[in-house]
Amino acid sequence: MEYLYAALLLHKAGKDVTEDTLTAVLKAAGVEVDENRVKSLVAALKGVNIDEALQSAAMVAATPMAGGAGAAEAEEEKPAEEEEEEEVDEADLGLGSLFG
């Protein structure tokens, strides 16, 4: 992930994302640099408009999908609440048998 962050930092600073500049940023951050990963990232970013890619990713993240994460989270919460209720009921039964 730090390789991508370094590339984004270079882009934001208006510098070219090259093997040398990417390596320099990673070394300055104290990262042990893997030259193959640097070469792969630089090759993957050739011809990519980073600003457009970031804008597109931001729009996808901001666009709610039908039955998206909010619905999934709500469904996940229901079983957890039901389990808690069952545990409480079992605990009540256990205490009830002790006293009566």
Question: Tens of pLDDT along 38-85?
Answer: 999 999 999 999 999 999 988 888 887 655 555 555 555 555 555 555
**Domain check: are 8 and 30 in the same one?**
yes
**Domain check: are 1 and 44 in the same one?**
yes
Q: What pLDDT, on the 0 to 100 scale, is given for residue 43?
A: 95
pTM assigned to the model:
0.60
**Domain check: are 53 and 7 in the same one?**
yes
The CATH number of the domain holding residue 26 is 1.10.10.1410
Q: What pLDDT, on the 0 to 100 scale, is given for residue 35?
A: 96
Q: What pLDDT, on the 0 to 100 scale, is given for residue 22?
A: 96
**Quick one: residue 14, left, alpha or beta (phi over 0 = left, psi -120 to 50 = alpha)?**
left
Mean pLDDT of the chain: 79
Q: What pLDDT, on the 0 to 100 scale, is given for residue 92?
A: 55
pLDDT at residue 94 tops 80? no
Q: What pLDDT, on the 0 to 100 scale, is given for residue 88?
A: 54
**Domain check: are 47 and 71 in the same one?**
no
Q: What pLDDT, on the 0 to 100 scale, is given for residue 61?
A: 86
Q: Which domain holds residue 93?
A: 67-100
Q: What pLDDT, on the 0 to 100 scale, is given for residue 51?
A: 92
**Domain check: are 95 and 83 in the same one?**
yes
**Domain check: are 20 and 46 in the same one?**
yes
**Domain check: are 75 and 59 in the same one?**
no
Q: What pLDDT, on the 0 to 100 scale, is given for residue 73?
A: 55
**Domain check: are 59 and 74 in the same one?**
no
**Domain check: are 10 and 42 in the same one?**
yes
**Domain check: are 59 and 81 in the same one?**
no
**Domain check: are 92 and 54 in the same one?**
no
